[in-house]
């Protein structure tokens, strides 16, 4: 048996409510995404100002803003009211309540569906048919994660601290959810590529980055241990600017709606 088989599916672990008390930290401390990722997502789709994207699980709009900066009209679909309220969307971004399983968008109305740091929270059995329904023929699906680069000392230390502090919560391994897309009959031509990304943070940023994760305790002995360990990590590695760097591989999966 695969070791993942004994773990609960993330979509069974209160995905709609577990970020409600973390919206303010999410806005302040989550990393963004490299410009090259947006380039790759939009490549070949035509004039951005003529595109409509559905950013599913948009959170506080980090990715929605990046798409809108290119001229894309973005429908930011986010089920969590606190996350929607924390967003400050630009003119081309419209936040709407909805889920990956029920976006409330019309059939074949969307050129591009994006899932930035969210796909692992979705039930693929219900989500992938919904994505196919709303996408136009030839439409594109983009799934993106900022995966921590464990070959770098600070990032490895941060990962070990948060894994231990969360008691190895399965949300620490989001990419396993991509198997459902790879096996899906609703999409084809799945490919992926990686991009370098880094987040320079001070001590408040390092602590806030941890607190923004849904699986990190917010109080009690477990949180006090995480706080102590993160402080030690920062003090060991901070540079002359008072910063440490979290290093990521931003992984992008692209897929096309199947014709069958």
192 is a domain residue? yes
209 is a domain residue? no
Task: Assess contact for 19 and 59: CB atoms under 8 A.
Answer: yes
179 is a domain residue? yes
- The mean per-residue pLDDT over the stretch 191-207 comes to 97
35 is a domain residue? yes
The pLDDT value recorded for residue 15 is: 62
The pLDDT value recorded for residue 1 is: 31
Alpha carbons 114 and 11: distance in angstroms, whole number: 18
The pLDDT value recorded for residue 17 is: 62
The pLDDT value recorded for residue 180 is: 95
Q: What is the mean pLDDT of the chain?
A: 92
Query: Among 60, 53, 4, which residue's Cα sits nearest to residue 27?
Result: 60
pLDDT in tens, 34-84: 999 999 999 999 999 999 999 999 999 999 999 999 999 999 999 999 999
Q: Which domain holds residue 87?
A: 3-146+173-198+248-257
Q: Where does the pLDDT of residue 3 fall: very low under 50, low under 70, confident under 90, or very high at 90 and above?
A: very low
The residue written with tokens 């320079």 in the block is: 200
34 is a domain residue? yes
pLDDT in tens, 102-132: 999 999 999 999 999 999 999 999 999 999 9
59 is a domain residue? yes
231 is a domain residue? no
Q: Where does the pLDDT of residue 23 fall: very low under 50, low under 70, confident under 90, or very high at 90 and above?
A: confident
235 is a domain residue? no
- The mean per-residue pLDDT over the stretch 138-149 comes to 96
pLDDT in tens, 156-190: 999 999 999 888 776 777 888 999 999 999 999 99
Task: Assess contact for 130 and 105: CB atoms under 8 A.
Answer: no
Alpha carbons 57 and 211: distance in angstroms, whole number: 19
Say yes or no to pLDDT of 239 above 80: yes
- Give, in degrees to the nearest 5, the angle at Cα 252 between 248 and 255: 170
Alpha carbons 65 and 68: distance in angstroms, whole number: 5
Give the helix, strand, coil percentages of the chain, each rounded to 5: 40, 25, 35
Q: Where does the pLDDT of residue 2 fall: very low under 50, low under 70, confident under 90, or very high at 90 and above?
A: very low
CATH number for the domain spanning 252: value is 3.40.50.150
Q: Is 46 helix (H, G, I), strand (E, B) or coil?
A: coil
Structural domains of the chain, count: 1
């Amino acid at each position: 048996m695969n070791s993942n088989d004994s773990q609960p599916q993330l979509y069974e672990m209160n995905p709609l409510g577990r970020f409600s008390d973390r919206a303010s930290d999410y806005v302040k401390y989550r990393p963004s995404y490299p410009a090259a990722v947006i380039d790759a997502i939009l490549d070949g789709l035509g004039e951005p100002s003529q595109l409509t994207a559905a950013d599913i699980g948009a959170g506080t709009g980090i990715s929605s803003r990046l798409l809108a900066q290119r001229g894309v009209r973005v429908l930011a679909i986010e089920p969590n009211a606190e996350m929607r309220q924390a967003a400050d969307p630009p003119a081309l971004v419209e936040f709407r309540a909805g889920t990956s399983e029920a976006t409330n968008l019309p059939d074949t109305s969307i050129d591009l569906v994006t899932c930035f740091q969210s796909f692992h929270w979705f039930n693929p059995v219900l989500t992938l048919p919904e994505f196919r329904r709303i996408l136009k023929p030839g439409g594109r699906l983009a799934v993106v994660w900022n995966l921590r680069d464990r070959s770098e000392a600070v990032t490895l230390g941060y990962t070990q601290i948060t894994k231990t502090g969360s008691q190895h919560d399965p949300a620490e391994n989001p990419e396993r959810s991509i198997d459902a897309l790879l096996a899906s009959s609703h999409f084809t031509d799945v490919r992926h590529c990686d991009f370098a990304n880094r987040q320079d943070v001070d001590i408040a940023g390092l602590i806030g980055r941890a607190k923004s994760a849904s699986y990190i305790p917010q109080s009690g002995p477990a949180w006090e241990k995480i706080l102590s360990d993160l402080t030690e990590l920062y003090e060991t590695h901070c540079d002359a600017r008072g910063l440490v760097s979290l290093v990521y591989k931003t992984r992008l999966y692209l897929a096309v709606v199947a014709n069958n």
